[in-house]
Amino acid sequence: MSTEANGEAESQARPLLSSEVSPLAQSTSQVAVVGANLCPIESLDYEISENDFFKQDWRTNSTVQIFQYVFMKWLLCFLIGGIVSLVGFCNNLAVETVAGIKFVVISYMMLAQRSVMAFVVFSVSNLMLTLLAALITAFVSSAAAGSGIPEVKAYLNGVDAPGIFSLKTLFVKIIGSISAVSSSLLVGKAGPMVHIGACVASLLGQGGSKKYGLTWSWLRFFKNDRDRRDLVTCGSAAGIAAAFRAPIGGLLFALEEMVSWWRSALLWRAFFTTAIVAIILVGLIDFCDSGKCGPFGKGGLIMFDVSSTNVSYDLWDVPPVLLLGVLGGLFGSLYNFLLDRVVQVYNSITGKCSGYKILLACFISIFTSCLLFGLPWLSSCLPCPADAEVVCPTVGQAGNYKKFQCPPGHYNDLASLIFNTNDDAIKNLFSKGTDNEFQYSSILIFFGTCFFLSIISYGIVSPTGLYVPVIVTGASYGRLIAMLVGSHSTLNHGIFAVLGAASFLGGTMRATVSACVILLELTNNLLMLPLMMLVLLASKTVADAFNNNIYDLIMKAKGFPYLEAHAEPFMRQLTVSDVVKGPLQLFHGIERVGNVVQVLRTTTHNGFPVIDESPLSESPVLYGLILRAHLIELLKKKAFLSSTEPTGIDVSEQFSVVDFAKKGSGNADKIEDVDVTNEEENMFLDLHPFTNTSPYTVVETMSLAKALILLRQVGLRHLLVIPKIYGRSPVVGILTRHDFMPEDILSSHPALTRSRWKGWRLTLPRWLNPH
């Protein structure tokens, strides 16, 4: 058994992002980058500990309590949907208002030919907004940096990353996302909305926060990892639904990209949650359409217009669509490769102090402002089309025809894309009837700018999403392909833009079903379904030949021990006995208090096998598994015996189920807080009522691949290994998720490195791949 086997301890794995070895990494469990810190990583207990105390508590539950439990599940889903929809709507309204005011002021300055002052206002306002986002992220909650999707995905896989769902993280995620998106950085809001939805769900599920005095005792039923995991799943689905007003897309995104375990009951609750989001958003948007949300109240959460009366396509439209898919796979894999390297470079620069993080964010903001303001000057002015459906040129409002520096009756097509929010830029690219609006050079410049800026903007200390930048980037080269194809295709340029966005989503995030439905819900055009399916399949197939999806790369870089759905083929050559090592910490059914205290103080294990020997049993037998948190609770309550004889006292008289409820992440009781006297150390604890008598076990000869499938699909934290031959110790060791990490296994069995299956994935030259 590994020295970590009882509870994720002492593994020497390192996150790829760590530029130097910290003291924490030398003495504790496997560590991962959480925000700006290296934190010990624990697993979550998705298995219910079915001990005698738990069974007795459930037997005594009345019909009213069971009804309350079921009712509270649906009520919490309703609250999650309602809160997340309100946050999503307010986020969009805030972004549109802040960015709208900024662009209006700049537009009128440009109209007055005060270009230098317009540049100063543009740069300074962007810098202040970026600085606000960076400061609160760096000094209030660094766990709010980035999109948050990798952290939520790791949590739903069973990885407990400290601080990612705290109240501070929720606050920083909301304010920081508004500031970052409004600052003209090429970052998105969808990823932060997923994290926001997960935070809301987690805080509701744990009954509030004891630290801030916000707790509700009637939520005790949800104080376990399994119910919180289900709520976080609903919250992540609600986040995407609120970001794109795509309820079915949000549900499928959670199913395809986020969760590791799924069941029909959870499907219904997640569907109910996203339906609540959709209903509330429709009401709020209708309210704003009446003009009651200010001059910018109609922006965001819009349906992009690419539909026409009859969308038809012919056989010769298939080759350019396939070309889009191939390009999406190539660009997507390159995008993932570069983003992975940039994030590592940023960490090496900013790993020393928070000041470097702030300076880097400010530098990226200034560089972005210079680039965005300077590039439109390279584009020539175009005359306004005579049949334009909107005002041309556009001054002081969002639109397809930005005037910028052009004379009356003319517009700057590149400025129409750059001097807008991301939502408005997508609307311009997706819009129909604009096939002659953009020049080749403008679209090419815009594509390169989006591709480059979205990569360098992601790793800064601020809430930054990738979903919207990927859509903008893909839409831009989709337009370019449409312009190159020209009259040889029956599809309009807006549809090519949508297909380009789909191809880039498939190439970077490898999303297929969810990306398809989200884009169809955004554009309200089901007639594009066959073409979108084709382009997504092509882009994902091509990109998978080079690297993993972007979220998996970020999780690996952060050091999260994520369990994949499939086992590496070399694991079939090993048995579980090849990876478990000693020594194994055991407890007896009735154990001396001093032994329990000594083991808890000298180890960081979170689960301990309990065995019975004579006189309780004729031969040593495995009674079950007891958790560290339960042992600490027994020591705190001082439920001690004066002798080794069981007293037969009803434990329900001494304890309540609330005593053993799972606390919030990072709030677990510590053995250092327990005070035990010398006299008490010579007393005894009866562990039988609190031991899980039905833990999952595997025989030591089982293949490691089969054990991995069991651990992941059931959602286990500990997997006991029992001997094949009778007469030995009743338990050989314990497996945890860290024992299944390929890097750890190959470091112990280097001969298997050559047999590690790479599939059809192409490998990069050694000088391009530093890993």
Query: Which pLDDT band holds residue 648 (cuts at 50, 70, 90)?
Result: low
Query: Which pLDDT band holds residue 25 (cuts at 50, 70, 90)?
Result: very low
Residue 375 has pLDDT above 60, yes or no: yes
Q: What stretches of 29-166 show up as alpha helix (H) in DSSP?
A: 52-59, 63-111, 115-139, 149-157
pLDDT of residue 533: 93
**694-729 exposure pattern, b = at least 16 Cβ within 10 A, e = fewer:** ebbbbebebbbbebbeebbeebbbbbbbbeeeeeee
Q: Are 689 and 666 in contact (CB under 8 A)?
A: no
Q: How many domains does the chain have?
A: 3
Gyration radius (Cα) of the chain, Å: 28
121-135, 648-662, 686-700: which has the minimum mean pLDDT?
Answer: 648-662
| Residue after which a domain boundary falls, among 690, 717, 738 | 690
Q: What is the pLDDT of residues 402-423, one digit of tens each?
A: 888 888 888 888 888 888 888 8
Q: Are residues 252 and 137 in the same domain?
A: yes
Closest to 771 (Cα-Cα) out of 484, 543, 556, 494: 556
Residue 27 has pLDDT above 80, yes or no: no
pLDDT of residue 469: 93
In angstroms, what CA-CA distances link 116 with 129, 374, 407? 20, 11, 18
- Give the structural domain span for 209: 63-290
Residue 309 has pLDDT above 90, yes or no: no
- Distance between first and last Cα of the chain: 28
Residue 445 has pLDDT above 70, yes or no: yes
Q: Are residues 494 and 353 in the same domain?
A: yes
pLDDT of residue 219: 60
Length of the chain: 771
- What is the mean predicted confidence (pLDDT) over 444-452? 94
- What is the mean predicted confidence (pLDDT) over 664-680? 77
Q: What is the pLDDT of residues 143-166, one digit of tens each?
A: 898 899 999 999 999 898 888 898
Residue 212 has pLDDT above 80, yes or no: no
Q: How far is CA 22 from the centre of its chain?
A: 25
pLDDT of residue 10: 35
pLDDT of residue 122: 93
Domain CATH number, residue 355: 1.10.3080.10
Q: Are 735 and 721 in contact (CB under 8 A)?
A: yes
Residue 120 has pLDDT above 70, yes or no: yes
Q: What is the pLDDT of residues 184-204, one digit of tens each?
A: 999 999 999 999 999 999 888
Q: Are residues 241 and 286 in the same domain?
A: yes
Residue 39 located in a structural domain: no
17-31, 297-311, 739-753: which has the minimum mean pLDDT?
Answer: 17-31
d(CA 261, CA 716): 11
Q: Are residues 249 and 325 in the same domain?
A: no
Q: Are residues 277 and 331 in the same domain?
A: no
* Omega of the bond leading into 569 within 30 degrees of 0 (cis): no
Residue 529 located in a structural domain: yes
- Residue identified by tokens 């089969």 is 706
Q: CA angle at residue 634 from 630 to 636, to 5 degrees? A: 115
pLDDT of residue 470: 94
- What is the mean predicted confidence (pLDDT) over 345-374? 86
d(CA 681, CA 596): 9
Residue 568 located in a structural domain: no
| Residue after which a domain boundary falls, among 690, 718, 735 | 690
Residue 47 located in a structural domain: no
Closest to 592 (Cα-Cα) out of 464, 685, 714, 454: 685
Q: Are residues 355 and 213 in the same domain?
A: no
Name the burial class of residue 614, with classes exposed (0-12), middle (13-18) and buried (19+) by CB atoms within 10 angstroms of its CB: exposed
Residue 176 has pLDDT above 50, yes or no: yes
Query: Which pLDDT band holds residue 391 (cuts at 50, 70, 90)?
Result: confident
Q: Are 10 and 3 in contact (CB under 8 A)?
A: yes
Q: What is the pLDDT of residues 531-568, one digit of tens each?
A: 999 999 999 999 999 988 999 999 988 888 899 888 88
pLDDT of residue 490: 80
d(CA 163, CA 168): 9
Q: Are residues 527 and 628 in the same domain?
A: no
Which one has a higher pLDDT value, 290 or 75?
Answer: 75
d(CA 581, CA 735): 10
Residue 407 located in a structural domain: no
Q: Are residues 183 and 319 in the same domain?
A: no
Residue 381 has pLDDT above 90, yes or no: no
Residue 31 located in a structural domain: no
Q: Are residues 552 and 655 in the same domain?
A: no
Q: Are residues 199 and 325 in the same domain?
A: no
pTM above 0.85, yes or no: yes
Query: Which pLDDT band holds residue 760 (cuts at 50, 70, 90)?
Result: low
Considering the chain, what is the average pLDDT of its residues?
A: 83
Q: Are residues 245 and 119 in the same domain?
A: yes
Residue 23 has pLDDT above 60, yes or no: no
Q: Are residues 491 and 366 in the same domain?
A: yes
Q: What is the pLDDT of residues 462-494, one digit of tens each?
A: 999 999 999 999 999 999 999 988 777 788 888
**249-276 exposure pattern, b = at least 16 Cβ within 10 A, e = fewer:** bbbbbbbbbbbbbeeeebeebbbbbbbb
Q: What is the pLDDT of residues 618-644, one digit of tens each?
A: 788 999 999 998 898 888 888 888 887
pLDDT of residue 250: 94
Residue 356 located in a structural domain: yes
Residue 131 located in a structural domain: yes
State which of 311-320, 365-374, 409-418, 625-634 shows the largest mean pLDDT. Answer: 365-374
pLDDT of residue 269: 94
Six-digit token string for 96: 């549109």
pLDDT of residue 761: 58
Residue 290 has pLDDT above 90, yes or no: no
| Residue after which a domain boundary falls, among 290, 325, 351 | 290
